[in-house]
Amino acid sequence: MSLRIRELADKLEEGLPREEMMREFTGKWSVSERTIARYMIFANDILSHRLNEREAVLDVMRSEALAEDIENTLRSTLELEARLCAIAEGNLETERTVHTRQGVVKVMQKPTYSEILRAIDRLLKMRGCYSIKTKNLLSPQPMIKLVISEELNEKLKLIAAKNMTENDKK
If we measure between CA atoms, which residue out of 52, 49, 20, 47 comes closest to residue 36?
A: 20
Q: What is the pLDDT of residue 141?
A: 56
pLDDT of residue 157: 80
Where would I find the H helices in 30-88?
Answer: 33-73, 77-88
pLDDT at residue number 41: 92
**Cα separation of the two ends of the chain:** 34
Q: Which residue has the higher pLDDT, 148 or 138?
A: 148
- HSE-CB for 18 with a 13 A CA cutoff: 10
Decide if pLDDT at 37 tops 80. Answer: yes
Q: Which residues contact 135 (CB under 8 A, 6 or more apart)?
A: 141, 143
Express as a percent the part of the chain with pLDDT over 90. 18
For residues 79-100, give the mean pLDDT: 82
Residue 131 has pLDDT above 70, yes or no: no
Rounded distance between C-alpha atoms, residue 108 and residue 165, angstroms = 18
Query: Which has the higher per-residue pLDDT, 159 or 28?
Result: 28
- Mean pLDDT, rounded, for 145-162: 75
Segment 99-120 mean pLDDT: 83
